[in-house]
Chains A and B, each alone.
Chain A
Amino acid sequence: MKSMEKSLRRSSPSVGRILLAVAAFLIAAWMIVPTLVIIPLSFSSSEASFVFPPPGWSLALYENLSGGAWRDAALNSIKIAAVVTVLTTILGTAAALGLDRSKFPGKGLVTGSLFAPLIVPTSILAIGIYAVFLNWKLNGTFIGFVLAHSVVALPMVLVSVSSSLRVFDRNQENAAASLGASPLTTFMSVTLPQIRSGVVTGAVLAFLASFDEVVISLFLASPRLQTLPVLMFSSMRRELDPTVAAAAVVVFALAAIAIPIVALIQTRNHHVR
């Protein structure tokens, strides 16, 4: 009798379920809502401090962002991230393919070091790169930023391309080759179209990894060359320039755009399978 009563109760939402939904709603709110304060703050008319709620509304902070040091830093970030994306997407896809298709002595060590930048704390990475770049005169240079950011972006491409290669049926390449296609033709017309979602996801993640990189950039930056996160960090620490709110909104918007893109690519991939 008791168990029947229970099963009847289960058909309608129980008190437990409702409590669970409320808890999950609060947790989701805790993850997202605090960050959203930056949006009203970015339209503040106050150019003195981070007063919230803002005393009045204006686009002044966005005007600050579109000129001077802020504009230069934003452009640097975009340029560096673009070069890093192209470089690491090509190198990462090639490396993923090479790891997937071959066995060689020490492969475990090679794979391990390719993924290690994901695990090693960035502060250690940062002081290491800083020390070596001092000797190589790469601190404060564009190429220095590109190379340092590539270290954190490359594993992103590797992860996402490797996972799409894992579900790719390699017999198709053998078929293409047996019909006379060269390795390059086979790759471009058979393999690449099918691992495209992994490559594009990797490229998006690589762009974000470079654009969002803070700690290494703090060490590499010079007065002449700095990136947007570096400028955000320094104005946040000194609590001086509220333009950081507008910058934060732009950076936040970028993440908000990237997620649906990645989600869309991934779900389309599921349909193919």
Chain B
Amino acid sequence: MARVVVDVMLKPEILDPQGQAIAGACERLGFSGIRGVRQGKRFEVEVEGEADDAALAEVRRMAETLLANPVIEDFSVRVE
């Protein structure tokens, strides 16, 4: 069994009010040097067998079909 991680982020041009709110909180709490925050999602996908090319292709297909909305989000797939 292997673990494949899918990270999903709003595209850079899409407004992220949650990230902005977090950045605002950082400033209030005194965390210095924070220029901006964008919030995304991390999916940990357990696959059967090895994370070979076929398995990664399947996860990639799953990411673009279900995990991410390609209209507003980008995703990346990696083995961890």
Q: Do A and B come from one complex?
A: no
Chain A interfacial positions (CB closer than 8 Å to B): none
Chain B interfacial positions (CB closer than 8 Å to A): none
